[in-house]
């Protein structure tokens, strides 16, 4: 792994993975979504001689073929990920997540790239039928977003089965940390408290999640990229620890020394039948294939996350009073 491409590098996980790959000594071609502002998203301010930032869109198959030329390993993270927005704009999720993944797979096959890691999500499992959730757990499309990711995973695996494309489907459970969208539950609470709010708007507090600190997620991607035995596999990145939203938010309030109350905001509730009530991952496959182990427990990760979001320079980039689907 020397010359790598990261799609979606301008996003939350993508920017952290880009930095981790640079620290590994890789030359990184980082794809940010094309826009007229020439914004590189969270890549702004990352200066490194091994970094090449390009702008474009994975929905264009010709562009995908262009950016994989000369690349050894592709980390495909570009996707639409907001679950609430998928309820109102599902067609865009098919275009970006399913067809975009098809375009990347086809480009990797055509250009003879050595490895492709396609990013999945624990949302493909839906509410757990059993725990811990291993890679054999049934897929349950409980939102248009999760359906699009199930489709993308299937496209990727079909290229391995039909064409022997060296694909690994990487399936992180809920990732959190610096730079995450304030739409997500952890940064939403932190930014509201940091902005002086005492009545904190929340959705359903009963669901449970298996939270990965973002540096652990990035390390999982890299470990799997170095593992030939992971080719043709779907692999969870999970801590194997479950916590409810309510307990998570109480932990955040305690760490921030905040005396707050929770107020249910109807806009933050998922449609009936769509909420994923329980996620607890089985990480035995990744720990058997690679040396990867989670380094950060939730309290340690939350302290780091709170520290980043409460820095005034970072907090001002968020609109804590607006819930953006």
Q: Are residues 110 and 96 part of one domain?
A: yes
Q: 132: cis peptide before it, omega within 30°?
A: yes
Query: Which pLDDT score, from 0 to 100, does residue 323 have?
Result: 64
Is the per-residue pLDDT at 237 higher than 80?
Answer: yes
Helices (H), the chain: 12-23, 61-67, 83-88, 90-93, 100-111, 144-163, 185-194, 214-225, 245-256, 284-289, 298-309, 312-315
Q: Are residues 255 and 138 part of one domain?
A: no
The alpha carbon of residue 31 and the mean position of all alpha carbons in its chain are separated, in whole angstroms, by 15
Q: Are residues 141 and 256 part of one domain?
A: no
Q: Are residues 79 and 227 part of one domain?
A: yes
Is the per-residue pLDDT at 287 higher than 70?
Answer: yes
Query: Which pLDDT score, from 0 to 100, does residue 274 have?
Result: 79
Total domain count, the chain: 2
Q: Are residues 87 and 169 part of one domain?
A: yes
Query: Which pLDDT score, from 0 to 100, does residue 203 have?
Result: 85
Q: Is residue 287 part of a domain?
A: no
**CATH code of 201's domain:** 3.90.25.10
CA dihedral 115, 120, 124, 126 (to 10 degrees): 130
Q: Is residue 75 part of a domain?
A: yes
Chain-wide mean pLDDT for the chain?
95
Q: Are residues 165 and 192 part of one domain?
A: no
Query: Which pLDDT score, from 0 to 100, does residue 321 have?
Result: 65
Q: Are residues 117 and 25 part of one domain?
A: yes
* CB neighbour class for 95 (10 Å; exposed up to 12, middle 13-18, buried from 19): middle
Q: How many CA atoms lie within 13 A of 110 on its CB side?
A: 15
Average pLDDT score over residue span 104-108 = 98
* CB neighbour class for 14 (10 Å; exposed up to 12, middle 13-18, buried from 19): buried
pLDDT tens digits for range 155-164:
999 999 999 9
Domain span at 251: 178-209+241-282+297-315
Query: Which pLDDT score, from 0 to 100, does residue 320 have?
Result: 65
**CATH code of 93's domain:** 3.40.50.720
Q: Are residues 201 and 128 part of one domain?
A: no
Average pLDDT score over residue span 71-98 = 96
Q: Are residues 123 and 138 part of one domain?
A: yes
CB atoms within 10 A of CB 38: 9
Q: Is residue 59 part of a domain?
A: yes
Query: Which pLDDT score, from 0 to 100, does residue 238 have?
Result: 98
Could you give phi then psi for residue 200, rounded to 5 degrees? -90, 125
The candidate with the shortest Cα–Cα distance to 225, out of 73, 23, 70, is 73
pLDDT tens digits for range 120-169:
999 999 999 999 999 999 999 999 999 999 999 999 999 999 999 999 99
Query: Which pLDDT score, from 0 to 100, does residue 317 have?
Result: 87
């Amino acid at each position: 792994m020397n010359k790598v491409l990261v799609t979606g590098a301008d996003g939350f996980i993508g920017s952290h993975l880009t930095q981790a790959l640079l620290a590994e000594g890789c030359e990184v071609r980082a794809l940010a979504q094309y826009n007229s502002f020439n914004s590189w998203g969270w890549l702004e301010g990352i200066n490194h001689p091994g970094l090449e930032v390009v702008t474009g869109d994975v929905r264009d198959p010709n562009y995908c073929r262009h950016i994989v030329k000369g690349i050894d390993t592709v980390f495909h993270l570009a996707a639409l990920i907001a679950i609430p927005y998928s309820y109102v704009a599902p067609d865009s999720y098919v275009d970006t997540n399913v067809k975009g993944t098809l375009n990347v797979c086809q480009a990797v096959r055509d250009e003879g790239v050595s490895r492709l890691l396609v990013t999945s999500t624990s949302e493909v499992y839906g509410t757990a039928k059993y725990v811990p959730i291993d890679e054999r757990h049934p897929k349950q499309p409980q939102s248009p977003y999760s359906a699009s990711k199930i489709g993308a995973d299937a496209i990727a695996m079909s290229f391995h089965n039909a064409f022997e494309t060296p694909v690994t489907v990487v399936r992180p459970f809920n990732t959190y940390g610096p730079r995450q969208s304030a739409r997500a539950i952890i940064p939403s609470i932190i930014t509201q408290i940091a902005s002086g709010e005492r009545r904190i708007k929340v959705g359903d507090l009963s669901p449970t999640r298996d939270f990965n600190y973002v540096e652990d997620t990035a390390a999982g991607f890299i470990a799997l990229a170095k593992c030939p035995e992971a080719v043709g596999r779907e692999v969870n990145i999970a801590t194997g620890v479950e916590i409810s939203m309510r307990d998570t938010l109480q932990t955040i309030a305690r760490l921030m020394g905040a005396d707050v109350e929770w107020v249910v905001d109807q806009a933050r509730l998922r449609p009936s039948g769509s909420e994923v009530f329980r996620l607890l991952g089985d990480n035995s496959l990744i720990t058997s294939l690679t040396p990867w182990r989670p380094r950060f427990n939730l309290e340690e990760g939350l302290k780091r996350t709170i520290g980043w979001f409460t820095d005034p320079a970072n907090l001002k980039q968020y609109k804590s009073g607006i819930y953006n689907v």
